[in-house]
């Protein structure tokens, strides 16, 4: 203040502006302008790193964590380098700073690719290839004293408001800068090209990445052309930090880790159900891994092949091009599939291609078959149970009436079965019932129905069979049963007989139960006659 001439009062409010401008030139303020943004950015990135720690198990989270830590290191040491004032000290700080310089840009690019759902493109090999130049640059930065590839000379620039390291980038650093810019540019170009593929919600995320990525590009351009507002102050670490912050904001706003966009292809290939895309002549245009396993053919042979020639079971399903309803396909190896056919659409436009989604329903089919068997048959003999036999009987009766065909019913009951149980035990009794079931099954036609309708009572429904034929058939059956033997535990054999009653459908039969009652009456008649014999219902003549 002594420099001011007498009569000039710098404390006068009139000179406030002057006072402020002279303060602006104070070295401390200048230094803060270089230092503070970097320290703030380092702190910001540190916070981001803490936040990203939670998500480190996801790949995007891991890239973000690596980016945040290395970007924080970068900004912190960049800030520190404006506090020290000798070239040696700055150079010393560059050693740790280069960890950030060499890792953060790549980590941010990887994070952005993962963020927009193209993480599958980052294979281990590609990652390795992308890391080569950053690794070389890092090693070179640590051994710069020998070759000067990173900094061609280490000298201070005193023309800046505070002493800074002169911008003397060596050849390798130029190459590395160009590489980073190319990486960022390539990512931008890739995203721009793919932008139309993204649904609107995810398009916002891509826009965010594009905005964030243009910042480091701008900063690099300014630094290279010496156009930074503060001379020799690199804005690149700030720009990368800021880009990271923009993405973090997106993350907070859209909770992107929960909503991480997934591309259709990823869903498609990770599906456990086989999926095919066919053209309008049913040739395969695309397929997923599960589809390949279904066909058990080499990958290369599939594209262009007509699906019905590989899987004949699909021919019927695919014959109607406009059918969209699901169909069932049974493959040769007894596998059941539910196949859904859907036309492919692209932005509202129908394409001449169809999507086939297969679902393995073999287990369900087997379960259904088991349930059906349990509901319709008797577990001991495997014959139809009473309920199912009556159902079939009613239907056959209606059919016989409609076409005027004969229909006969035979009721059979094992004679003195209680004695068999009492003398030889229940197990032998069961064997006897199974044996009887075998004889009935072997001697009847497939068009006949055989049911176990009581403990030791059986019924035969003989379709297209007159009273006389039914009598003949039953006589033969009784003969076979008479000759059958059951092996006992002591090696001896025991035989058994049955009594039978036969009734043939007549106009007086109101329903199947009437026919059943008549056959039953005839059976009791046979029992009364001394058993091991056959009686016709009283209302019929042979």
Stretch that binds ligand GH3, among 178-186, 262-270, 297-305, 414-422 (CB under 6 A): 414-422
Stretch that binds ligand GH3, among 40-48, 93-101, 121-129, 423-431 (CB under 6 A): 423-431
Residue of 19, 364, 426, 485 interacting with ligand GH3 (CB under 6 A):
426
What is the smallest separation between the CB atom of 386 and ligand GH3, expressed in angstroms?
A: 12
d(CA 390, CA 447) in angstroms, rounded, equals 16
Per rule CB under 6 A, is residue 527 in the interface with ligand GH3?
yes
Q: Residue 190 or 417: which CB sits closer to Mg ion?
A: 417
**Binding region for ligand GH3 (CB under 6 A) out of 104-112, 210-218, 411-419, 442-450:** 411-419
Stretch that binds ligand GH3, among 22-30, 232-240, 339-347, 424-432 (CB under 6 A): 424-432
Q: Are 436 and 454 in contact (CB under 8 A)?
A: no
CB of residue 499 to ligand GH3, shortest distance in Å? 7
Asked if 78 is part of the footprint of ligand GH3 (rule: CB under 6 A), the reply reads no
Q: How far is the CB of 440 from ligand GH3 (least distance, A)?
A: 16
236, HSE (Cβ side, Cα atoms, 13 Å): 25
The correct pick among 156, 417, 466, 524 for binding Mg ion (CB under 5 A) is: 417
Q: How many residues bind Mg ion (CB under 5 A)?
A: 3
Return the residues of window 333-392 that contact ligand GH3 according to CB under 6 A: 380
Shortest distance in whole angstroms from residue 418 CB to Mg ion: 7
**Binding mask 452-491 vs ligand GH3 (x if CB under 6 A, - otherwise)?**
---xx-----------------------------------
Establish if 501 lies at the interface with ligand GH3 (CB under 6 A).
Answer: no
Q: Tell me if 413 contacts Mg ion by CB under 5 A.
A: yes
The angle formed by the CA atoms of residues 241, 243 and 246, to the nearest 5 degrees, is 110
* Kind and range of the H or E run holding 176: helix 171-194
Angle at 43 between CA 37 and CA 46, to 5 degrees: 140
Between residues 30 and 417, which has the closer beta carbon with respect to Mg ion? 417
Q: Which stretch binds ligand GH3 (CB under 6 A): 146-154, 248-256, 407-415, 472-480?
A: 407-415
**Is 417 one of the binding residues for ligand GH3 (CB under 6 A)?**
yes
Nearer to Mg ion among residue 413 and residue 540 (C-beta):
413
d(CA 92, CA 81): 9
Classify residue 385 by its DSSP letter: P
State which residue, 7 or 379, has the beta carbon closest to ligand GH3.
379
CB-based contacts of 391-396 (< 8 A; 24+ apart in sequence): 392/449, 392/451, 392/461, 393/449, 393/461, 393/512, 393/515, 393/516, 394/511, 394/512, 396/449, 396/461, 396/463
Q: Which residue has the tokens 């287990």?
A: 363
Of the candidates 235, 205, 237, the one whose C-alpha atom is nearest the C-alpha of residue 221 is: 235
CB 361 within 8 A of CB 338: yes
Burial (Cβ within 10 Å: 0-12, 13-18, ≥19) of residue 268 = middle
Q: Which residues of 237-257 are buried (b: 16+ CB within 10 A; e: fewer)?
A: bbbbbbbbbbbbebbeebebe
Within positions 428 to 447, which residues make up the interface with ligand GH3, using CB under 6 A?
Answer: 429-430, 433
- The tokens describing 249, both together, are 């904001």
Nearer to ligand GH3, 212 or 534 (CB): 534
Binding flag, residue 418, ligand GH3 (CB under 6 A): yes
Beta-strand runs (E) in 405-536: 407-414, 449-452, 457-463, 486-487, 493-494, 498-504, 534-536
**Hey, which bits of 264-348 come out as E strands?**
275-279, 284-287, 327-331, 335-346
- DSSP run (H or E) holding 349: strand 349-360
CB proximity list for 91: less than 8 A, separation 6 or greater:
144, 151, 154, 165
| Residue number with CB closer to ligand GH3 (343 or 455) | 455
Q: Which of 396, 413, 509, 540 binds ligand GH3 (CB under 6 A)?
A: 413
Tokens of 456: 């030791």
Applying CB under 6 A, among 421, 441, 469, 475 the residue interacting with ligand GH3 is 421
Q: How far is the CB of 387 from ligand GH3 (least distance, A)?
A: 17
Q: How far is the CB of 402 from Mg ion (least distance, A)?
A: 33
- Measured CA to CA in angstroms, residue 347 lies from 198, 205, 290, 344, 353 at distances of 12, 20, 27, 10, 14
Q: Does 495 bind ligand GH3 (CB under 6 A)?
A: no
Nearer to ligand GH3, 78 or 413 (CB): 413
Q: Assess contact for 85 and 160: CB atoms under 8 A.
A: no
Q: Which region, judged by CB under 6 A, interacts with ligand GH3, from 65-73, 295-303, 418-426, 463-471?
A: 418-426
Q: Which residues lie near Mg ion (CB under 5 A)? A: 413-414, 417
Q: Which residues bind to ligand GH3, rule: CB under 6 A?
A: 380, 413-418, 421, 426, 429-430, 433, 455-456, 527, 531
């Amino acid at each position: 203040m002594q420099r001011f001439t007498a009569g000039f009062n710098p404390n006068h409010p009139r000179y406030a502006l002057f006072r402020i401008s002279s303060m602006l030139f104070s070295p401390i303020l200048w230094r803060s302008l270089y230092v503070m943004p970097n320290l703030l950015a380092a702190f910001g990135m540190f916070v981001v790193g803490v936040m990203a720690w939670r998500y480190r198990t996801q790949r995007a989270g891991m890239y973000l964590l690596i980016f945040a830590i290395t970007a924080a290191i970068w900004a912190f040491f960049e800030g520190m380098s404006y506090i020290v004032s000798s070239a040696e000290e700055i150079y010393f700080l560059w050693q740790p700073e280069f960890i950030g310089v060499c890792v953060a840009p790549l980590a941010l690019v990887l994070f952005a690719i993962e963020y927009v759902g193209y993480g599958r493109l980052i294979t281990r090999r590609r990652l390795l290839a992308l890391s080569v130049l950053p690794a070389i640059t890092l090693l070179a930065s640590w051994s710069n004293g020998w070759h000067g590839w990173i900094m061609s000379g280490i000298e201070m620039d005193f023309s800046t408001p505070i002493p800074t390291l002169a911008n003397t980038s060596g050849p390798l650093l130029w190459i590395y800068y160009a590489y980073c810019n190319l990486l960022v540019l390539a990512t931008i170009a890739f995203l721009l090209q793919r932008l139309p593929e993204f649904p609107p919600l995810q398009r916002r995320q891509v826009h965010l990445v594009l905005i964030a990525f243009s910042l480091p590009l701008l900063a690099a351009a300014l630094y290279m052309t010496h156009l930074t507002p503060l001379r020799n102050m690199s804005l690149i670490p700030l720009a990368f930090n800021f880009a990271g912050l923009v993405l973090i904001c997106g993350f907070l706003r859209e909770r992107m880790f929960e909503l991480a966009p997934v591309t259709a292809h990823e869903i498609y290939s990770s599906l456990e159900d086989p999926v095919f895309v066919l053209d309008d002549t049913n040739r395969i245009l695309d397929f997923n891994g599960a589809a390949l396993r279904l066909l058990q053919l080499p990958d290369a042979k599939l594209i262009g092949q007509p699906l019905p020639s590989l899987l004949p079971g699909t021919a019927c399903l695919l014959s109607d091009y406009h059918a969209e309803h699901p169909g069932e396909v049974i493959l040769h190896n007894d596998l059941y599939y539910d196949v859904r056919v859907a036309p492919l659409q692209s932005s509202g436009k129908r394409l001449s291609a169809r999507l086939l989604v297969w679902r393995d329903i073999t287990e369900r089919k087997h379960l259904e078959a088991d349930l059906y068997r349990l509901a319709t048959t008797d577990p001991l003999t495997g014959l139809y149970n009473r309920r199912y036999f009556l159902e079939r009987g009613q239907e056959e009766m209606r059919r016989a009436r409609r076409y005027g065909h004969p229909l006969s019913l035979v009721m059979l009951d094992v004679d003195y079965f209680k004695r068999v149980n009492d003398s030889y035990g229940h197990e032998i009794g069961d064997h006897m019932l199974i044996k009887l079931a075998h004889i009935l099954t072997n001697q009847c036609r497939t068009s006949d129905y055989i049911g176990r309708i009581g403990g030791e009572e059986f019924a035969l429904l003989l379709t297209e069979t007159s009273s006389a034929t039914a009598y003949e058939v039953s006589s033969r059956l009784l003969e076979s049963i008479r000759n059958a033997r059951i092996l006992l535990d002591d090696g001896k054999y025991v035989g058994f007989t049955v009594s039978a009653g036969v009734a043939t459908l007549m106009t007086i039969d109101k329903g199947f139960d009437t026919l059943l009652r008549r056959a039953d009456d005839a059976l009791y008649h046979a029992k009364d006659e001394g058993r091991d014999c056959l009686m016709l219902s009283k209302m019929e003549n042979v």
